[in-house]
Amino acid sequence: MTSPLTKSLGLLIAAGIISAAASAQAAEEEKYEHCYGIAKAGQNDCQTSTHVCAGKSNADRDQHAFISVPAGTCAKIAGGTTTEPAAPAKK
């Protein structure tokens, strides 16, 4: 039979492991940035204001399509920007 103290200790250890994993993932995500205007047609990452899924960009260098690049890289790429332009007006 497991004592309440042992159960509590197990829960605290599990919570610590989960917290550490979440922190590591957040740190990894901070190493990348969205870079708009550089993706080839069909090679974009994820949803944008003009379509709902990765790989749906229809044109090279679509200003609304992005790919994730290492932080600080986008500014070095011709035509790249870390901010998406305003979505086109709906008709």
pLDDT of 60 above 80: yes
User: Which strand (E) or helix (H) includes residue 33?
Assistant: strand 32-36
Q: What predicted TM-score, i.e. pTM, was given to this entire model? A: 0.60
- Rg from Cα positions in the chain: 21
d(CA 21, CA 36): 29
Q: Where are the domains of the chain?
A: 1-30, 32-91
What is the per-residue pLDDT across 8-50, written as a single tens digit (0 to 9) for each? 656 656 666 666 555 666 556 579 999 999 999 888 888 777 7
What is the rounded CA–CA span in Å between residue 72 and residue 90?
33
